[in-house]
Amino acid sequence: EVQLVESGGGLLQPGGSLRLSCAASGFTFRTYWMQWVRQAPGKGLVWVSRINTDGTNTTYADSVKGRFTISRDNAKNTLYLQMSSLRAEDTAVYYCARDGGKGGLSYWGQGTLVTVSS
Amino acid sequence: QSALTQPASVSGSPGQSITISCTGTSSDVGHYNLVSWYQQHPGKAPKLLIYEVTKRPSGVSNRFSGSKSGNTATLTISGLQAEDEGDYFCFSYITISTSWVFGGGTKLTVL
């Protein structure tokens, strides 16, 4: 069974940093592109970032470019999102999702909540 | 990366068919067949319904179908059921920035 389990969320102050993790199981992690998507409370889905199978190709939404870094450790079957210079508008549930290769996000984690507030 | 345009809400009675549109530009929806659709129930993770405009993952009801004309993609739900109530989002690749974008979301109410 495919499982994606995010962790690392929490409450932090503006300007802070945080690293989210997404532990993958039930499939050959190293063969899939992966994505991060976020959702502010009561709002819609927002694309954050995408990474290819070996981590050499990454793309970001303009709103997080230069502040967030996506990476992966295929030996540990884990996806990461390093977030820095956090702002109140980064407050959201962050989901990791498995990308079928052409943008179909076929499996999602349960999400982890990041709250940025002073 | 402006959000794709979806109607804020749609509604229908059980058994009816409804459509949800997703309008973009020739740089995203209109460029490649890389549009997908997701259903989300409150407090839950999204679920993939349609990918590459028209393809349906195994396990997704054939009551859900997708199409595209020009810069607008459309999700059709036939034979509406109470459990279809929820939020629906489209998602597309943006060729000029090699990034991705969601639609603003549509709340479906089954009357």
> What span, in angstroms and rounded, lies between the C-alpha atoms of A34 and A39?
17
**Cα distance from B92 to chain A (closest Cα, Å)?**
7
What would the pLDDT profile of B22-76 be if each residue is shown by its tens digit? Answer: 999 989 999 989 999 999 999 999 999 999 999 999 999 999 999 999 999 999 9
Reply yes or no on whether the pLDDT at A101 is more than 80: no
- Mean pLDDT value across residues B85-90: 98
Tell me how far apart the alpha carbons of residues B45 and A104 are, in angstroms, rounded to a whole number: 14
Give A58 to chain B, closest Cα distance, Å.
Answer: 10
Q: How many residues belong to chain A?
A: 118
Position B1 pLDDT exceeds 80: no
Q: How would you list the strands of the sheet with B18-23, edge to edge? A: B18-23, B72-77, B64-69
Contacts of B44 (CB under 8 A, 6+ apart): none
Q: Is A103 close to B91, i.e. CB distance below 8 A?
A: yes
pLDDT at B9 over 80: yes
B44, closest residue in chain A (CA to CA) = A110
Per-residue pLDDT of B12-32, as tens digits, reads: 999 999 999 999 998 999 998
Local confidence band at A102 (pLDDT 50, 70, 90 cut-offs) = confident
Q: Summarize pLDDT for A37-78 with one digit per residue, the tens.
A: 999 999 999 999 999 999 999 999 999 999 999 999 999 999
Note the pLDDT of residue A100. Answer: 87
Dist. CA A103–CA A82, nearest whole Å: 22
Residues of A with CB under 8 A from a CB of B: 35, 37, 44-47, 50, 59-63, 95, 100, 102-106, 108-111
pLDDT bucket at B81, cuts 50 / 70 / 90: very high
**Burial track A32-66 (b if 16+ CB lie within 10 A, e otherwise):** bbbbbbbbeeeebbbbbbbbebebeeebbbeebee
Mean pLDDT of chain A: 96
